[in-house]
């Protein structure tokens, strides 16, 4: 039986990835921290979707994810890591706990989960897609810690692309720009003005547009697409 995993399945981008990849495997494991929202997502995804309430930062949570995946005849087909926490503020204004929690949620937890997943059985031509961020490449004020955590995650994934390709597992990164999710906060007027000035497409993107690229990398991309980073950002990274 083929298995897929979406980490962060209740988020805007993670939820869109669940929709985009529904039906591509026989069992889809949906992971998040909110049981009610997970159940809604699993019901919408249809037959074969299984919710797992877990926090990737917690060893107990990671163990629960591994247990949900493994079975007598189960092979992991694809993994999408779309979890993460936002953190805004200048470094001097952030407290130590917030900094540590951001790196734990955005980098350390996913790295440890990938380490555990490495020991499982995978299908031929398996795929991992990690959701990065334009903040990993662009210097943005008040996003230093968040950007650093995402930069670390992106480098981890790209390096894994080189390590795991010999096992038939392709690892790639999708880096969203300004996407219309609750992640953006509530100051819509200021955000709209910033987008109009800094994004060539002059609009925010949608979670479905990011998920469409994820689906392509998982199901359709050539085997030679390995360890790459694809921006879905309306051209934001193309300009200074």
Residues marked as catalytic: 146
Taking alpha carbons only, the member of 204, 117, 188 closest to residue 157 is: 117
What CA–CA distance (Å, rounded) separates 127 from 135?
24
DSSP for the chain reads -EEEEEETTTSHHHHHHHHHHTTSSSEEEEEES-HHHHHHHHHHH-TTEEEEE--TTSHHHHHHHHHHH--TT-EEEEEEE-------S-GGGS-HHHHHHHHIIIIIHHHHHHHHHTTS-EEEEEEEEEE--GGGTS--TT-HHHHHHHHHHHHHHHHHHHHHGGGTEEEEEEEE-SBSSGGG-S-HHHHHHHHHHH-TT-S-B-HHHHHHHHHIIIIIS-TT--S-EEEESTTGGG--
What CA–CA distance (Å, rounded) separates 101 from 135?
18
């Amino acid at each position: 039986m083929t298995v897929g995993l979406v980490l962060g399945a209740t988020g805007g981008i993670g939820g869109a990835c669940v929709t985009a990849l529904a039906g591509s495997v026989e069992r889809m494991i949906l992971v998040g921290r909110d049981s009610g929202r997970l159940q809604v997502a699993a019901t919408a995804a249809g037959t074969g979707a299984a919710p797992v309430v877990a926090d990737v930062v917690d060893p107990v949570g990671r163990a629960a994810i591994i247990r949900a995946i493994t079975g007598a005849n189960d092979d992991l087909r694809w993994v999408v890591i779309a979890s993460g926490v936002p953190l805004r503020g200048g470094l001097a204004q952030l407290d130590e706990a917030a900094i540590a929690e951001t790196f734990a949620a955005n980098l350390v937890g996913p790295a440890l989960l990938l380490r555990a997943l490495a020991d499982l059985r995978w299908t031929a031509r398996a795929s991992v897609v990690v959701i990065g961020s334009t903040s990993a490449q662009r210097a943005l004020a008040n996003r230093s810690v968040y950007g650093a955590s995402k930069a670390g995650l992106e480098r981890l994934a790209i390096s894994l692309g080189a390590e795991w390709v010999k096992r038939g597992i392709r690892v790639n990164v999708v880096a969203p720009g300004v996407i219309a999710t609750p992640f953006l906060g509530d100051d819509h007027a200021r955000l709209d003005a910033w987008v109009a000035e800094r994004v060539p497409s002059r609009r925010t993107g949608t979670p479905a547009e990011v998920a469409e690229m994820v689906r392509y990398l998982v199901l359709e991309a050539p085997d030679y697409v390995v360890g790459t980073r694809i921006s879905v950002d309306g051209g934001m990274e193309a300009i200074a």
